[in-house]
Chains A and B, each alone.
Chain A
């Protein structure tokens, strides 16, 4: 990697430095606006929908998304786009149209708080603890991935990268809270577009356009989404049933419809229609994001023939980072590196701001120190931010010990998010679902995933042709276990009185004043347009 490291020049460092000045500057300007805990944790419900929409998208654009999707594309081909067109857009539309009225309308401050209102305290506590653990773990993985890229690409010290990035994130999140994180996520979105788009354009020209790219593939199935999905004999090793049930339904809805990391951005919107528009506005760029992640992975496979030959500097995870010094001269290299830095730091900040909210509202205020002043909780939010970042540094070093971070994290999602979506689906759309039905359903669903992974996988009939196939099926089993057991236990336990369910469940709506919006702002119309575009992409790359 000596040649790559030699290409970075003073101009690249200047561009990275300018970015650092701006992110910390935004936090400093916002510092004076953080007067209450609601300002710090929920941005005072004061952010326009185009900003929350881009932040909703960017909070998910961390290390795993940017590096991981390019790596998956190099490994599995165009089928990786299923993570967008099957595994994201339909769930984002469902969240906007059907679930957001409950989240925003019930005025909850977090996802676990919804579970408390709809079910009971134990269900909330279970979700809050598992979410807090998951977020700091994810946050650390962003730090580790960033440090690894900069070590392999530029020979930067891993320790220095981790502490420098953590220090910058600490500075801007502790000063500006969620607003600072959201604003930096929006800047990150544009940086990623301007920093990575030329790679796709130049790379595609270098390999002879789309037809030239496809002609290079040894396996023609690499160029198709569905054509070889009738059985699991395709590059991803997953058939269409597993794609639709595991990814398209359980994992995707489990993540996009219940993960507080992204939903917190929508809760910061200024009104219910704005909150509903948030995932829809995010869905429009999301549908085209394979251009910035999947396409470079495919290009890397052709331009870097040794890719995937070892587990270090030529691992599939390095597909996108390796293209930067290949395609860019000094100058643009700085923009590309800044885009990756911004992605990792925003991914980390998103997790930290979700962690500090759940910790302060759902654990500290609920169980440790209730009935304190708002100023006290604002102070605790800042302490939780600092502690969350310190734990993230620790988990970054823990992450170094795992051979495959991506597979490990997919396991975590299948353990926690997959069953949680069954709990939410029943909670929001079946008023007979009882508090103890939800609690034990969640426990049984999570245990099913754990048993499937640690005991059953590898033994007939639980033998899978790829790790990803195992993740998809595990998610489906966990979801079914939670869904069925919640229903069964609900029939033998006491439901909540109907008057306590107003605004929390389908059929018991809050009285909301009707608002008249111009047609292009109506969530229903935006949803139809985005679903039509998504369908078109599936047909185009069939």
Chain B
């Protein structure tokens, strides 16, 4: 059976790369006030990076599992 982590890793990596790339090419900032100070974020770039890291993390889990001699019961 297909390991569900593979399409998750691929989908979130692709979406993460698209967002980060778009964030760099077309920078759009949002202002977020926190305790009287306003912070400025490039949401596409920053949240895209988090999505990309999640995609890579899922891919690493699949790779680590495949290196084990036998997979224990989930």
Contact = CB atoms under 8 A, between A and B. Distances in A.
Contacts of A331: 18-19, 22-23, 26, 28, 43-44, 48
Given A14-B18, A194-B12, A194-B54, A329 B4 contact: no
Given A194-B12, A331-B22, A30 B2 contact: yes
Contacts of B43: 198, 202, 328-329, 331-332
Contact of A50 (B14, B23, B33, B74): B74
Interface stretch (A15-23, A102-110, A257-265, A455-463): A15-23
Nearest to A328: B43
A11 interface: yes
Nearest to A179: B1
Give chain B's interface secondary structure class.
helix
B8 interface: yes
Given A22-B7, A205-B33, 19 more contacts: A11-B22, A15-B18, A22-B10, A22-B11, A26-B7, A48-B74, A179-B1, A187-B7, A187-B8, A190-B54, A194-B50, A202-B32, A202-B43, A270-B73, A271-B73, A328-B43, A329-B44, A331-B44, A331-B48
Interface residues of B, number: 30
A198 B14 CA distance: 19
Contact of B14 (A18, A29, A30, A208): A18
B60 interface: no
Nearest to A331: B44
Interface in B1-38: 1-2, 4, 7-8, 10-12, 14-15, 18-19, 22-23, 26, 28, 30, 32-35
Given A15-B15, A49-B74, A194-B51, A183 B4 contact: yes
A149 B18 CA distance: 25
Interface of A: 11, 14-15, 18-19, 22, 25-26, 29-30, 33, 44, 46-51, 179, 183, 186-187, 190, 194, 198, 202, 205-206, 208-209, 270-271, 274, 327-332, 335
Interface of B: 1-2, 4, 7-8, 10-12, 14-15, 18-19, 22-23, 26, 28, 30, 32-35, 43-44, 47-48, 50-51, 54, 73-74
A190 B12 contact: yes
A329 B11 contact: no
Contacts of B7: 22, 25-26, 183, 187
B40 to A, nearest CB: 12
A6 to B, nearest CB: 14
Contacts of A26: 2, 7
Contacts of A22: 7, 10-11
Contact of A18 (B15, B26, B28): B15
B22 A187 contact: no
Nearest to A189: B8
B18 to A, nearest CB: 6
